[in-house]
């Protein structure tokens, strides 16, 4: 028998990563400033969590310049969306049990 928590994904274990994925699953993309404001995260904190999600293959990062200012945009990958959906469903199942 499978454990009730077997589909809970450790990568989404932190509230900042959970927030990042929640934003990116319902939007095509979000930039660094938007994520920072929505999540109330510091620059360093947000950077480390986006790096972890990128390393796991759950988000893509696009860096560009708007005028002379750097702009970083994040998007959820197909795999990221699928794994996040599985994670949310596992939490819902756990809460219902």
pLDDT the model gives residue 7: 84
Quickly list H helices, the chain: 15-26, 32-39, 43-55, 78-96
The answer to whether position 57 is within a domain reads yes
State residue 37 phi and psi, 5-degree precision. -70, -45
The answer to whether position 42 is within a domain reads yes
The answer to whether position 96 is within a domain reads no
The answer to whether position 53 is within a domain reads yes
Domain count, the chain: 1
State residue 7 phi and psi, 5-degree precision. -95, 5
Per-residue pLDDT tens digits for 28-63 = 999 999 999 999 999 999 999 999 999 999 999 999
Domain of 80, CATH number, reads: 1.10.10.10
pLDDT the model gives residue 6: 81
Q: What is the largest CA-CA distance in the chain?
A: 57
Mean confidence (pLDDT) of the chain: 94
The answer to whether position 2 is within a domain reads no
The answer to whether position 35 is within a domain reads yes
The answer to whether position 1 is within a domain reads no
Average pLDDT over residues 1-7: 71
Residue 27 CB-half CA count within 13 A:
14
pLDDT the model gives residue 2: 66
Residue 47 structural domain: 10-90
The answer to whether position 66 is within a domain reads yes
**How is residue 80 written in tokens?**
């990221």
């Amino acid at each position: 028998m499978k454990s009730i928590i077997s589909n809970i994904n450790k990568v989404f274990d932190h509230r900042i990563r959970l927030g990042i994925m929640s934003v990116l699953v319902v939007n095509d993309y979000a930039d660094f400033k938007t994520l920072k404001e929505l999540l109330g995260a510091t620059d360093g904190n947000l950077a480390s969590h986006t790096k972890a999600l990128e390393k796991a293959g759950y988000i893509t990062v696009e860096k560009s310049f708007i005028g002379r200012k750097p702009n970083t945009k994040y998007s959820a990958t197909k795999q990221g969306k699928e794994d996040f959906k599985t994670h949310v469903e596992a939490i819902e199942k756990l809460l219902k049990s």
